[in-house]
């Protein structure tokens, strides 16, 4: 499955959330990551993020698509990082 993750967290937790998410996904832009994950990887990512955030003030949005071809991205301006199958 193809996953797009966006987050808005307090500055003191930003680094931890980014580091956690980058273990699973490709950083595309500030607070935005994407990539292919198995269902088990997605569950682990969600579990780790739940421990890293404050559910009263932080927000993490995860969009799950059946495959990368189901998403169409339009980028205006600089492309900061291109997701790939190879890490």
Q: Which long-range contacts (CB under 8 A, 24 or more apart) does 15-20 make?
A: 16/52, 17/49, 17/52, 17/53, 17/58, 17/60, 20/45, 20/48, 20/49, 20/52
Say if CB 2 and CB 36 are below 8 A apart.
Answer: yes
Q: What are the binding residues?
A: 8
Q: What are the binding residues for Mg(2+)?
A: 8
């Amino acid at each position: 499955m193809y996953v797009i993750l966006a987050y808005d967290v307090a500055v003191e937790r930003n680094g931890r959330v980014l580091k956690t998410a980058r273990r699973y996904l490709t950083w595309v832009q500030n607070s935005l990551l994407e990539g292919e994950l198995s269902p088990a990887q997605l569950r682990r990512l969600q579990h780790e993020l739940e421990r890293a955030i404050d559910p009263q003030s932080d927000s993490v949005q995860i969009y799950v698509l059946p495959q990368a071809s189901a998403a169409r991205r339009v980028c205006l301006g600089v492309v900061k990082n291109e997701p790939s199958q190879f890490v």
